[in-house]
Structure 1
Amino acid sequence: MKNSVRQSAASLGAIAVMMAVSAPAFAQTPAAPAASAEPGLDEIVVTASGRDKSRLQSAVAVTSVDAATIANFKPVSESEIYRLIPGIQAAGTAGPGGNSNIAVRGLPVATGGSPFVQLQEDGLPTVLFGDIQFGNNDYFTRYDASVERLESVRGGGATTYASQAPGAIINYISNTGEKAGGFFGINQGLDFREARVDFRYGAPIGENTRFHIGGFYKVGNGPLNNFRVSNSIQIKANLTQEFGDGKGYVRLLAKFANTKDPNYTGAPALATRNGNTVSNITPFAGFDGRSQNNYSVYNTTGLFLNRAGTALERRDIDGITTKQFSIGAQFHYEFGDNFTVDNNFRWSDISGAFAAPFLNLTRTTGIIGSTVNGGVVASLRYAAGPRAGQVYTGTYVDNNVNVRTNIRDAGSIANDLALSGKFDAGFAKVTARAGLFVMRQNIGMDWHVNQSTREVSGDNPAQLDLYTAAGARLTNEGISGYNNNWGTCCARDYDLSYTNTAPFLSLDLDGEAFALDGSVRFENVKAKGGGTQGGTTITVSSGGVNLPALLSNSVREVVDYSRSYTSWTAGALWKANANTSIFIRASKGGRFNGDRQTFGGKFTTTGALCTSAQARAATNGCTADGVTPSVDFVNQYEIGIKNRGNIGTGRYSVEFSLLKADFKQSTFELSATRCGGAAGGCIIDSKYRSTGAEFFGTLSFGAFSLVANATYSDSQQLDGTTYRRASYLPSLTYTVSTNYDIGDMVTLGLAATGQSSVRDDPGNVYPGGIIVNSTISVRPVEHLEVGLQAYNLFNKLDFRGNGSNVADVTGANSVVLTGTPVVGQTFLGTLKYSF
């Protein structure tokens, strides 16, 4: 009787929470899909866990997003997939090449990348740090057909089971061929030129052996470009040999990737501004960011000063490119009934480049009459294209950089070893774990940032050359200087390596009604290497014009130090009944600041971290404290409920958490926009605090299914002595997906993703928005599926506040702004044959 009453009360409370959170999102129309309802809360958690508990009985916030859900959504970038995961806050507008800002649970991104979020493939990070400059972790991770599901752990559970992940882990878990089968699929853009082939196949090949292989090949223009800028291939394979006694297995894994995809660098728009409120955003004439981009057929290559500083070399401007080859091995074995050993190893050879035209608007009249390279500018003329040589008369020009950063080496070697023992203590089952994680991450890059001038157009913008009144050309191919666009900070050349060594311990008590756990991780990161930045300016002859070029030949900065710190977490779970659990968790986690610490006066002449006393005294080459900002610490607290049950003939599940956190972040930023208009970069040191809530729910009634998630965060940044709303982070993001099966032949899907308003650094507030996607899939015969998918069905111009800033005032309340909008209305045809 008491159990029945307690179960009913818990179920009704969970339903009420789900309805309260999901109702406002659903009222504004569905949002993007989230994780599938199956297998639901009984699924065993393998990410940041002991691999022996279900989602329902784990005292952490964990979500799985299966391959079918992602296939229905058809995200246009890697980071947009993460909008399917509660707690993850990513605009998803950076494009298929990557370079996204991925925040989590109100932990914003002060500059770029994913400082608190680690991306893993089969339990190991793709790169150690999520915010490597010009090397964010989403460059090197691509969802493909080999992935069975994404699994994400947020909060304290991620803190001690992985290094450099105090906010969240997103793990790409591979299919291993347990069941024979696969598919071959073709995705073809119907209103844009792009084709993608996906495939996978796996099967047992003997009593104890199985394999799986899968991947994709993509080629085309993409929805925003007028020439072929995407050309990517990725293949992943694994081979599993189980031991005859059924106690474990050995698995070999391999990955090959050669990718080239654009990252979207922004578009202009028109808007109204009243005070700090921006509204009525409309497309800019001749450059609609929903369907156009800054890449150009007239700017596919450019001249860049070589690494040695001895010659100009013509290199591609082709977005983000990666070359990857990795091999790995996993070992799992159970010794008797009590002890288990797991080892996960991977070696990776990674290189690539970041090459793109950035966007910034300025008035043409501001350039006319200015002095450039010793001459007074009298006119701007097209440097290429059908109007080459003609005078440019547009109101605005794009005076941002043509950049190419060569990623010579981002390779790594990693190993994660864990030993666990399980014992029955009578009152509870006790599990103790001990392990050691070691990873060496290389970062070798050289930066080339050219001063550039081009027309403002979304239709293959041409570079613009500057001329004097006498007709003397002051630039070549629209470039007025080499390596010097952002000042001496950003002509860089460095080779760094970071070795992260982390022993960890955990203890878990699992009783009939309660579970308790605690774990600690002892981090040590050893940094070595060094590099140079801008020093001497020389003159080079480029196309008959003498132009300045900044060499990376300053006094070499040496890096030779180590930093140790400790992360911990503790949690408790109450098993209210077979369908309900309530958990609490507290944690403190650290993340190491890697290459963003360099060239900031934070190291002594011998490479040690500068102390604050040395910085104040300006001794040993120190101008800034290096010890304090070398590690960012995050304190997190959460309480959550997980529940499932029946509603009439239907089923539901709900997960809801209340969150609180505080943390600090110190990082280098090279954008003048975020540095108060100052060129040459700046150090951003700030403290943050955040409260919020996280929701995930599923509902199914016969042929109808619904999945939803929402994240609310009140994230604040310390500004002087007071806290203000954190920049570039919406208070609310939400996702909903619905599907309806008509018999066995047809499936209809409706999905949408939305968010609330966003504030930028100067305090301007941009409106939120919602985009709607739809799908229809038809299965005319067995094994064959034909589909039509619409992305941004209503062609919403939604900037999501991602990097937006007011570029120019054109009237009393009219402004021109720049930002990166969501891709506009696009249609995709699909054909899939399963076998």
Structure 2
Amino acid sequence: MKKSVLRSCVSAASLAVMTVYAMPALAQDAAATEEAVDSLDEIVVTASGRDKTQLNSSVSVTSINSQLIEDFKPSSESELYRMIPGIQVAGTAGPGGNSNIAVRGLPVATGGSPFVQIQEDGLPTVLFGDIQFGNNDYWTRFDASVANIEGVRGGSAATYASQAPGAVLNYISHTGEKEGGYIQLNKGVGYAETKVDFRYGGSINDTLTYHVGGFYKSGRGPLRADYNVSDSVQVKANVTKTFDDGKGYIRFLFKYADTQEPNYTGAPALATLSGNKVTSLKPFPGFDGRKGSNYSTLNQSFLIVNREGDLERVKMSGITTNAKSIQNQFHYEFSDAVSVDNNLRWTEMSGGFTAPFFSATRTSSLIGSTLNGQTVASVRYANGPKAGQAYTGTFYNSNTNVRTNIRDIGSFANDLALTGKYDTGAGLLTARAGWFYMNQKIEMDWHTNKAFSEVSGDNPAMLDLFNAAGARLTAEGIGGFNNNWGSCCARDYELSYTDNAAYVGLDLDNDNFVIDGSVRFEMLKAAGWTIAGSNTEFNTPVTYNGVVTQIPTITADGAREVLNYGRNYTAWTAGALWKVNGDTSVFVRASRGGRFNADRQTVSGKFNADGSLNQSGVIPSVDFVNQYELGLKNRGGLLGGRYTIELTLLKGNFKRSDYEPTKTAQCPNGGCVIDTKYKSSGAEFYGTYRNGGFSLTANATYTKAKRAAAASTVYTRADGIPDLSYTVAANYDVNDMATLGLSATGQTSAIDGAGIEYPGKAVFNGVVRVRPIENLELGMQVYNLFNTFDFRGAGGITDLSTSPIVLGGAPALGRTYTASIRYSF
């Protein structure tokens, strides 16, 4: 075993061992302990037949409750997913989202989460997890209305959900069965951020329950931007009517969200490079990514040339979302043998992605270069206290100011299922048949400006470039409109995707075993159009400080690409489970799921003039994922307490073909098709332990992920995937008066697209909650207790000529304190 893997294993194991041996002998009633911990008795409701406990389900499934999430205090939605085994994500993209979410060693080839579906109450928020500039982690926020998040990996995720061959992550709402709620005020300590969480639910009468919850958040964030980068509100409510005969219910769910949250776009760092390994990683002088960011009041707004061809000033607002949805759930049991379920949601949704991307580049490379057809002779501050002075920094930020206007990403979805149960004498046979429909709109326009700014984590200024005659070549640090990534990305499109899926499943269950299988028939259609820019630039005059500068501009004026095609394909899964005894089960499973390649196929030359797929576009229009699993689930007593263990051995493979608009190691000039194939093997683990007031939860994912070019048989290590990632959380309740908690999330090393290996580390978090009087709780949470500088394997080398070298990436937040006060009622 590699030393880095061993060190991380020891780190995780040490936390678990220390907390176990630190337990005082305060074991309480064993029956109460067992009831509190045994999640294996919970019914699986996500991507399943909905009538099996976790112990007796032949799939890998984990449920994490809201209290565990609050104790862990994740810094972003994606870091929350690190609590679920099998999900591999850096978690450093920030609260706005835009994370690359991998699963079980199946990497993300170009961006987003192509094989992972995020659901709210059983329906996807967006049909595709890797919509360009619309990843699925934009549209869902954990809040007080959520009771638990259930994660199903592999297996039935491929057949009971669409576009989710890797995993389904389902946010399940409180529905008011238990009377009560709370209001909680959270304040940043040492930084300006305020958040209010609230929820309340209960009964209106014997057959009617309700629940409402949500949050409000505002502030400059833990990276201490000089203006409010967070300004968000979300409210979710539901009401449930149980039928008088007790055979079912009808539920209406409502959601309103208007959010603005930052996307952390990276920071520079210093390090030593030995061969292809990065060591001695430390913050860059003047820009410590643990506590500083590229968001600046000096770039708080900027000009774009909009889709009408006019100059427009837009706010640097990070990732914004606006969503309104109405959902209806219906369940009715016609008899003990036959039942029907229907789940329907209409969503009106839009948003935007507006961020200052970061990439440190040597300033000396600017002098003598050509911009706007002229030679750059000098660089000066464009604004701020040094406006007009020469810029003498060794590095500047050469990356884009990007604005994507997500005009419409709304949808309509419906999932209808009929279930029948029959006693065959050899066991209970359950048949389930259903039809899923979803229409997904994707309408956007992209604006990627060529931009120049100072490298600083404290209100960086914009930079203007000048020729030898003193003529300014830029305006407010902008050197081009919509042209930073070339003509491909001055893009405007209106797309619509319709997914019809018929599915059927059979399940035979007796006292000794379960055998099940299911098939899903996907029928997808794509319609709409895309227009990219042409290769012809024109100049847009911009007046800044009384001077008119001609700025090169590209607009979406190229050839119209029409989409009018469909693809049908089949997904399947089969599994068997042996009930060893009442506390142990063993299962095996094989599955083949598909993922439709949606808007990432556009602007790639894969369509005929009539909108049909040409020969190069048919095969990559669907990516298939094959997975094989062998699992063990067990529970029992240990040292006077109770434990649960879930262990799954894994193997999988898939192929990908995507158009990549940006510059990467695989696409050095930007705007190319990347054809790759991947395979992985490994294991995932999830365990819990409770003894009196002490509780411990741990998960780990170990994978060997490899990649190869589509036509090659030579596999190399896949980038972005650590061999081992893990999360451990321990809590101790001192009677009803206080709770002490410690958690850690970490990983071993990972490589970037160029094969450079970055070290893996663990970030520790702590929580203290005190209840001085009934219904009142005071809390203090600390994220990154030891202020660890951790890139989590996401980076790229900027400059090899210095010692130490300069590189860039997205570090985890530094030590961050949050105080809270909660009143329960």
Q: Who is 1:7 aligned against?
A: none
Deviation at 1:262, TM superposition (A): 0.3
Q: Does 1:825 align with 2:815?
A: yes
| Paired residues of 1:745 and 1:780 also in contact (CA < 8 A) | yes
Gaps of at least 5 residues in structure 2 are 1-5, 20-34
1:395-406 residue pairs with structure 2 within 5 A? 395-406=394-405
Taking the aligned partners of 2:300 and 2:226, their CA distance within structure 1 comes to: 11
Q: Deviations over 1:316-353 (max 9, x none)?
A: 11100000000010000000111010000000001010
Taking the aligned partners of 1:677 and 1:807, their CA distance within structure 2 comes to: 14
Q: Deviations over 1:536-590 (max 9, x none)?
A: 3111101210111001111100000000000000000000000000000000000
Q: Who is 2:688 aligned against?
A: 698
| 1:244 counterpart letter in structure 2 | D
Q: Who is 2:664 aligned against?
A: 673
Taking the aligned partners of 1:371 and 1:427, their CA distance within structure 2 comes to: 79
Q: Who is 1:11 aligned against?
A: none
Q: Who is 2:580 aligned against?
A: 576
Taking the aligned partners of 1:23 and 1:820, their CA distance within structure 2 comes to: 24
Q: Deviations over 1:357-393 (max 9, x none)?
A: 1011111111011121232211111111111111111
Deviation at 1:721, TM superposition (A): 3.0
Deviation at 1:53, TM superposition (A): 0.7
| 2:406 counterpart letter in structure 1 | I
Q: Who is 2:271 aligned against?
A: 271
Deviation at 1:181, TM superposition (A): 0.3
| 1:814 counterpart letter in structure 2 | P
Q: Who is 1:743 aligned against?
A: 735
Query: Secondary structure at the residue paired with 1:94?
Result: coil
Deviation at 1:39, TM superposition (A): 4.3
| Paired residues of 1:145 and 1:215 also in contact (CA < 8 A) | yes
Q: Deviations over 1:695-754 (max 9, x none)?
A: 000111222111100000001001433001101111100111111122221111010001
Gaps of at least 5 residues in structure 1 are 1-19, 612-624
Q: Deviations over 1:188-212 (max 9, x none)?
A: 1002110100000001101100100
Which deviates further from its counterpart, 62-71 or 21-30? 21-30
Taking the aligned partners of 1:298 and 1:179, their CA distance within structure 2 comes to: 50
Query: Secondary structure at the residue paired with 2:772?
Result: coil
Q: Deviations over 1:771-807 (max 9, x none)?
A: 10011110000011001111000000000012x0111
Which deviates further from its counterpart, 737-746 or 490-499? 737-746
| Paired residues of 1:159 and 1:567 also in contact (CA < 8 A) | yes
How many matched pairs? 796
| Paired residues of 1:37 and 1:698 also in contact (CA < 8 A) | no
Query: Secondary structure at the residue paired with 1:97?
Result: coil
Query: Secondary structure at the residue paired with 1:26?
Result: helix
Q: Who is 1:516 aligned against?
A: 515
| Paired residues of 1:21 and 1:695 also in contact (CA < 8 A) | no
Q: Who is 1:631 aligned against?
A: 622
Deviation at 1:223, TM superposition (A): 0.6
Q: Who is 1:796 aligned against?
A: 788
Taking the aligned partners of 1:192 and 1:341, their CA distance within structure 2 comes to: 51
| 1:678 counterpart letter in structure 2 | N
Taking the aligned partners of 1:371 and 1:63, their CA distance within structure 2 comes to: 55
Which deviates further from its counterpart, 583-592 or 466-475? 466-475
Q: Who is 1:834 aligned against?
A: 824
| 1:532 counterpart letter in structure 2 | I
Taking the aligned partners of 1:700 and 1:27, their CA distance within structure 2 comes to: 17
Query: Secondary structure at the residue paired with 2:617?
Result: coil
Taking the aligned partners of 2:286 and 2:523, their CA distance within structure 1 comes to: 53
Taking the aligned partners of 1:117 and 1:551, their CA distance within structure 2 comes to: 33
Query: Secondary structure at the residue paired with 1:779?
Result: strand
| Paired residues of 1:37 and 1:707 also in contact (CA < 8 A) | no
Taking the aligned partners of 1:413 and 1:294, their CA distance within structure 2 comes to: 37
Q: Who is 2:22 aligned against?
A: none
Which deviates further from its counterpart, 699-708 or 145-154? 699-708
Q: Who is 1:643 aligned against?
A: 634
* Identity across matched positions, percent: 59
Deviation at 1:29, TM superposition (A): 3.7
Q: Who is 2:26 aligned against?
A: none
Tell me: CA distance 1:23–1:733, structure 2 relative to 1, closer, same or farther (3 Å): closer
Query: Secondary structure at the residue paired with 2:82?
Result: helix
| Paired residues of 2:8 and 2:747 also in contact (CA < 8 A) | no
Partner residue of 2:806 out of 791, 808, 816: 816
| Paired residues of 2:731 and 2:740 also in contact (CA < 8 A) | yes
1:218-617 residue pairs with structure 2 within 5 A? 218-224=217-223, 225-309=225-309, 311-535=310-534, 536-543=536-543, 544-611=548-615
1:145-224 residue pairs with structure 2 within 5 A? 145-224=144-223
Taking the aligned partners of 1:269 and 1:113, their CA distance within structure 2 comes to: 25
1:20-35 residue pairs with structure 2 within 5 A? 24-27=10-13, 29=15
Query: Secondary structure at the residue paired with 1:418?
Result: strand
| 1:830 counterpart letter in structure 2 | S
Partner residue of 2:726 out of 715, 729, 734: 734
Partner residue of 1:782 out of 774, 785, 788: 774
Deviation at 1:413, TM superposition (A): 0.2
Taking the aligned partners of 1:714 and 1:28, their CA distance within structure 2 comes to: 24
Taking the aligned partners of 2:573 and 2:7, their CA distance within structure 1 comes to: 28
| Paired residues of 1:278 and 1:764 also in contact (CA < 8 A) | yes
Tell me: CA distance 1:383–1:569, structure 2 relative to 1, closer, same or farther (3 Å): same
Q: Does 1:57 align with 2:48?
A: no
Taking the aligned partners of 1:727 and 1:296, their CA distance within structure 2 comes to: 31
Taking the aligned partners of 1:318 and 1:179, their CA distance within structure 2 comes to: 39
Query: Secondary structure at the residue paired with 1:71?
Result: helix
Partner residue of 1:714 out of 704, 713, 724: 704
| Paired residues of 2:37 and 2:690 also in contact (CA < 8 A) | no
Taking the aligned partners of 1:285 and 1:77, their CA distance within structure 2 comes to: 26
Deviation at 1:684, TM superposition (A): 1.3
Tell me: CA distance 1:23–1:808, structure 2 relative to 1, closer, same or farther (3 Å): closer
| 2:646 counterpart letter in structure 1 | E
Taking the aligned partners of 2:514 and 2:593, their CA distance within structure 1 comes to: 22
Deviation at 1:307, TM superposition (A): 0.4
Deviation at 1:531, TM superposition (A): 1.5
* CA RMSD in angstroms, aligned pairs only: 1.4
Taking the aligned partners of 2:81 and 2:141, their CA distance within structure 1 comes to: 12
Query: Secondary structure at the residue paired with 1:161?
Result: coil
| 2:716 counterpart letter in structure 1 | R
Query: Secondary structure at the residue paired with 1:80?
Result: helix
| 1:785 counterpart letter in structure 2 | E
Deviation at 1:768, TM superposition (A): 0.4
Taking the aligned partners of 2:9 and 2:469, their CA distance within structure 1 comes to: 67
| Paired residues of 1:517 and 1:571 also in contact (CA < 8 A) | yes
| Paired residues of 1:77 and 1:92 also in contact (CA < 8 A) | yes
Which deviates further from its counterpart, 625-634 or 646-655? 646-655
Query: Secondary structure at the residue paired with 2:620?
Result: helix
Deviation at 1:647, TM superposition (A): 1.2
Taking the aligned partners of 1:260 and 1:505, their CA distance within structure 2 comes to: 41
Q: Who is 1:614 aligned against?
A: none
Query: Secondary structure at the residue paired with 1:76?
Result: coil
1:653-668 residue pairs with structure 2 within 5 A? 653-668=644-659
| 1:692 counterpart letter in structure 2 | G
| Paired residues of 1:453 and 1:463 also in contact (CA < 8 A) | yes
Tell me: CA distance 1:787–1:345, structure 2 relative to 1, closer, same or farther (3 Å): same
Taking the aligned partners of 1:648 and 1:484, their CA distance within structure 2 comes to: 65
| Paired residues of 1:30 and 1:750 also in contact (CA < 8 A) | no
Deviation at 1:251, TM superposition (A): 0.3
1:764-775 residue pairs with structure 2 within 5 A? 764-775=756-767
| Paired residues of 1:22 and 1:708 also in contact (CA < 8 A) | no
